[in-house]
Amino acid sequence: MTAPLDFYFDFSSPYGYLAAERIDDLAARHGRSVAWHPVLLGVIFQKTGAVPLTQAPIKGQYVLRDFARSARFMGLPYRQPSRFPLATQVAARAFYWAWDQDQARARDFGRALFRALFVDDRDISDPATVLAIAAAQGFDPAALEAALATPALKDRLKQEVEAALARGVCGSPYIVVDGEPFLGADRLPQLERWLAAGPGGF
């Protein structure tokens, strides 16, 4: 069976949101599936020496325009969150719990988390918000709340982030297909050509 694409992202990443809205359909057009891997950009930035894009001198004002323009270009709704960036540990842990329950519904849950932040300006760092979104996607909020309190789920996220760093993940979205990495939502056209034609297509 053809290997899935590995999709690494942080739920506070605008470009991660844009990629999340397109990646599964893009992969399906080429007979592929997608394995979703939420990570923590804060940990990655500590390793790479980077800072959140909006906090970078001079560049910060540009990227605010680019977030919205890129969403319009892709035909997606976008509202710059009033709280940004924000912590996404709870959202990421909740996603991994959901992924172990039902991968198809977990993808819907992931997109719902992104839309809550980047369309509806909801605070997904608040566990109550995450639980409400999970319930709307058909997951048991009581079971999720209990799982979020366990060391096992906290360790799961830590291990996933460590594995991502070991693989070279340096931003969001970071997509790997057959060992070839693509960084950024603007690389989706290149990713699609790779899927269609392989390395010889470049």
Q: Please write the tens of the pLDDT for every residue from 29-61.
A: 999 999 999 999 999 999 998 888 888 899 999
pLDDT at residue number 201: 73
Return the structure tokens found at 110: 């992931």
Query: What pLDDT band is residue 1 in, cutting at 50, 70 and 90?
Result: low
Contacts of 124 (CB under 8 A, 6+ apart): 11, 86, 88, 90, 91, 113, 116, 117, 130, 133
Q: What is the pLDDT of residues 180-200, one digit of tens each?
A: 999 999 999 999 999 998 877
- Angle at which helix 89-101 crosses helix 127-136, to 10 degrees, equals 30
pLDDT exceeds cutoff 60 at 105: yes
Q: Residue with structure tokens 């340096």? A: 170
The parent domain of residue 16 ranges over 5-201
Find, among 10, 66, 65, the residue nearest to 42 by Cα.
10
Angle at 131 between CA 83 and CA 185, to 5 degrees: 50
Q: Where are the beta strands (DSSP E) in the chain?
A: 5-9, 34-38, 174-177, 180-183
How many whole angstroms separate alpha carbon 195 and alpha carbon 105? 25
What is the rounded average pLDDT of the residues 73-101?
A: 97
Domain count, the chain: 1
CATH of the domain at 46: 3.40.30.10
Find, among 52, 119, 127, the residue nearest to 89 by Cα.
127
